[in-house]
Amino acid sequence: MMSLNTEPTPWWRNAVVYQVYVRSFADGNGDGIGDIAGLRSRLDYLNDLGVDAIWINPWYKSPLADGGYDVSDYRQIEPRYGSIEEAQALISEANELGIRVIVDMVPNHTSEEHKWFQEAKDSPIGHPSRSRYHIRPGQGKDGSEPPTDWSSIFGGPAWSRLPDGEWYLHIFAPEQPDLNWEHPEVLEEFESVLRFWLDLDVDGFRIDVAHGMIKDPEFPDIGDQDHDLLSSSRMADHPFWDRDGIHEIVRAWRKVLDEYGEDRMMVAEAWVPRDRLPLYLRPDEYHQSFNFDLLAAPWDAGTFADVIANASAAAASVGSSPTWVLSNHDIMREATRYGLSDDADWRTWPVTGPVNKLNAELGVQRARAAALILLGLPGSSYIYQGEELGLPEVWDLPAEVLDDPVWERSNGEQKGRDGCRVPLPWTADGPSYGFGAGSAWLPQPDEWAKLAASVQAVDDGSMLNLFRETIKLRKQWATADETITVGLVDRSGRLTYARGSGLVCVANMGTKPVKLPEHKRVLIQSETDAVMAGRLVPNCAVWLDVS
Ligand code: NOJ
Q: What is residue 218's predicted lDDT score, i.e. its pLDDT? A: 96
Ligand 1 site, residue 69, Cβ cutoff 6 A: yes
Does residue 324 sit in the same domain as residue 284?
Answer: yes
- In ligand 1, which atom is closest to the CA atom of 109? 11
- pTM beyond 0.95: the answer is yes
Ligand 1 site, residue 418, Cβ cutoff 6 A: no
Q: Structural domain of residue 127, as residue ranges?
A: 115-169
Does residue 277 sit in the same domain as residue 236?
Answer: yes
Cα–Cα distance, 473 to 140 (Å, whole number):
64
Does residue 281 sit in the same domain as residue 358?
Answer: yes
Please choose, from the candidates 78, 18, 28, the residue with its C-alpha nearest in 3D space to the C-alpha of residue 432: 28
Q: What is residue 273's predicted lDDT score, i.e. its pLDDT? A: 86
CATH number of the domain encompassing residue 141: 3.90.400.10
Q: Is 216 a catalytic residue?
A: no
Cα–Cα distance, 505 to 495 (Å, whole number):
8
Ligand 1 site, residue 497, Cβ cutoff 6 A: no
Please choose, from the candidates 303, 452, 466, the residue with its C-alpha nearest in 3D space to the C-alpha of residue 386: 452
Ligand 1 site, residue 27, Cβ cutoff 6 A: no
Q: Output the CA torsion 237→242→248→249 (10° steps).
A: 140
Does residue 313 sit in the same domain as residue 257?
Answer: yes
Q: Is 208 a catalytic residue?
A: yes
Residue 460 lies in a domain: no
Does residue 81 sit in the same domain as residue 165?
Answer: no
Does residue 157 sit in the same domain as residue 83?
Answer: no
Residue with the nearest Cα to atom 11 of ligand 1? 69
Please choose, from the candidates 123, 132, 40, the residue with its C-alpha nearest in 3D space to the C-alpha of residue 87: 40
- Given 112, 203, 208, 242, which residue is catalytic? 208
Ligand 1 site, residue 178, Cβ cutoff 6 A: no
Does residue 120 sit in the same domain as residue 21?
Answer: no
What residue type is assigned to position 151 of the chain? S
Cα–Cα distance, 335 to 356 (Å, whole number):
16
Q: How far is the CA of 9 from the centre of ligand 1 (A)?
A: 31
404: left (phi over 0), alpha (psi -120 to 50) or beta: beta
Q: How far is the CA of 180 from the centre of ligand 1 (A)?
A: 18
Full pLDDT tens readout for the chain, 547 residues: 333 444 568 999 999 999 999 999 999 999 999 999 999 999 999 999 999 999 999 999 999 999 999 999 999 999 999 999 999 999 999 999 999 999 999 999 999 999 999 999 999 999 999 999 999 999 999 999 999 999 999 989 999 999 999 999 999 999 999 999 999 999 999 999 999 999 999 999 999 999 999 999 999 998 866 555 555 456 778 999 999 999 999 999 999 999 999 999 999 999 988 889 999 999 999 999 999 999 999 999 999 999 999 999 999 888 889 999 999 999 999 999 999 999 999 989 999 989 999 999 999 999 999 999 999 999 999 999 999 999 999 999 999 999 999 999 989 989 999 999 999 999 999 999 999 999 999 999 999 999 999 999 999 999 999 999 999 999 999 999 999 999 999 999 999 999 999 999 999 999 999 999 999 999 999 999 999 999 999 999 999 999 9
Residue among 24, 64, 69, 206 whose CB has most ligand 1 atoms within 8 A, to mutate: 69
Residue among 66, 102, 329 whose CB has most ligand 1 atoms within 8 A, to mutate: 66
Ligand 1 site, residue 285, Cβ cutoff 6 A: no
Ligand 1 site, residue 387, Cβ cutoff 6 A: no
Residue among 60, 110, 175, 208 whose CB has most ligand 1 atoms within 8 A, to mutate: 208
Ligand 1 site, residue 66, Cβ cutoff 6 A: yes
Does residue 513 sit in the same domain as residue 384?
Answer: no
Residues with Cβ within 8 Å of 327's Cβ and at least 6 positions away in sequence, in order, are: 295, 333, 334, 337, 384, 387, 420
Residue 175 carries which DSSP code?
Answer: T
- In ligand 1, which atom is closest to the CA atom of 108? 11
CATH number of the domain encompassing residue 330: 3.20.20.80
- In DSSP notation, 474-536 reads HHHHTSS---EEEPPP-TT-EEEEEETTSEEEEEE-SSS-EEPPP-SEEEEESSTTSEETTEE
- In ligand 1, which atom is closest to the CA atom of 106? 11
Cα distances (Å, whole numbers) of residue 216 to 182, 187, 241, 272: 11, 18, 9, 17
Domains: count for the chain: 3
Residues with Cβ within 8 Å of 521's Cβ and at least 6 positions away in sequence, in order, are: 544, 545
Q: Which of 394, 414, 440 is the last residue of a domain?
A: 394
